[in-house]
Amino acid sequence: MMKATARAHTNIALVKYWGKKDPTLMLPQTDSLSLTLDRFYTTTSVEFDPTSAADQIQIDQAPAAPNVAQRVSQFLDLVRPQGCFARVASVNNVPMAAGLASSASAFAALAAAASWAQGLHPSRTELSRLARRGSGSATRSIFGGLVEWHAGHDDQSSFAEPIQEHVDFGLEMLAILLDTRQKKIGSRRGMQHVVATSPYYPTWREVVAHDMAAMKLAIAAQDIDQIGHLAQTNALRMHALNLAADPGFTYFNAATLKAMETIDHLRETGVSCYYTMDAGPNVKVIYDRRDRETILTALTPQFGADHLVVAKPGPGVEKLTDERDSLI
């Protein structure tokens, strides 16, 4: 068996899916649309070893926690040669479980590395379907730039495809790192609870259908103001589902609310900027790169330069071929 190393980048949804209709196949309730980011990524090496008695899984140079190791092993069961265990080493350039899509980059990289380690040459669509089985949003991290995930109705019809891989009209995203600790309510548990108990969930499906159509028009027009407006509204409505669940919950903290208020105020002064949040307290700012310095100047005194990360549209999954890139 060969050894392979893959790198995949995180993606942040501009139109979010927030709910699965099949948790085994990871089929979402709705379509979604995201932007892959260059600054946050996972690098993963996989080597299958017929002589090993168990999977050996390291994350960030330490043995993986039992629950994480089990999740990785279960995913490897989808692709491993019969009776063959693996050595897996993964390094994250992104905080885990903090609402920064670490699972998206992690399982996209794992899907690619595990496939390539067997000498397989799957298409990117096939990798997208495979990555989805590890983490829903990982299906989008196979591709760069702006990406659409088709919800589908079965394993074959649920996959992502790029809308525009090389984004050349100034769209950027700035991450405000407010709290990178692991969140108390994981995405899977949170969205499952919302689907089961939030009375607004049926309307959410209609909201996403509308926002998907409007967002694709905004992208075609290269209208960053409209992209940002739609993304901010979509995020707030997603988080409203959490507040309306029974019992209600939120991923926001005081710093999240402060950042949201700051961005709203900055926009009122004439700066084109908008925010979005996933399942975590950290805020991502959507803007035109020509306004980057103005936004950084406004945010740095409040949040600190070391808590602000500028991210440009990033690439899809990549194969690293230099032996020095291997983590095993």
Mention every residue, 6+ apart, whose C-beta is less than 8 A from residue 143: 36, 124, 128, 160, 161, 162, 165, 316, 317
148 and 176 housed in the same domain: no
In whole angstroms, give the CA distance from residue 273 to residue 295: 8
Q: How confident is the model at residue 99 (pLDDT cuts 50, 70, 90)?
A: low
- And the tokens for 313? 């549209």
Residue 65 in domain: yes
Q: What is the biggest distance separating any 2 CA atoms in the chain, rounded to whole angstroms? A: 64
- Domain membership of residue 321 (yes or no) is no
Domain that holds residue 284: 171-311
Mean pLDDT of 112-124: 96
What does the pLDDT average to over 270-274? 96
Specify if 54 maps to a domain.
yes
How is residue 99 annotated by DSSP? S
For 51-68, what is each residue's pLDDT tens digit?
Answer: 999 999 999 999 999 999
Q: Which helix (H) or strand (E) holds 10?
A: strand 3-15
Q: Tell me: pLDDT of 97 over 60.
A: no
Domain membership flag for residue 327: no
Tell me whether residue 222 is exposed, middle or buried, using C-beta atoms within 10 angstroms of its C-beta: 0 to 12, 13 to 18, 19 or more: middle
Statement to judge: residues 59 and 140 lie in one domain: yes
Considering the domain architecture, whether residues 158 and 185 belong to the same structural domain is answered as no
Can you give the pTM of this predicted structure?
Answer: 0.94
158 and 242 inside one domain: no
Q: How far apart are CA 230 and CA 203, in angstroms?
A: 16
Q: Is residue 316 part of a domain?
A: no
Are 230 and 268 members of one domain?
Answer: yes
Position 249 in a domain: yes
Whether residue 324 has pLDDT greater than 70: no
* 319 within some domain: no
> Looking at the structure, do residues 99 and 201 belong to the same domain, yes or no?
no
Residue 96 has pLDDT above 60, yes or no: no
Q: Which of 149, 167, 185 is the last residue of a domain?
A: 167
- Please say if the pLDDT value at position 98 is more than 60: no
Number of domains in the chain: 2
Q: Within this chain, do residues 147 and 13 fall inside the same structural domain, yes or no? A: yes
HSE (CB half, 13 Å, CA atoms) of 69?
A: 14
pLDDT category at 323 given cuts 50, 70, 90 is low
* Boundary-marking domain end, from 138, 167, 196: 167
> Which of 139, 167, 195 marks a domain boundary?
167
- Contact yes or no for 297/107 (Cβ under 8 A): no
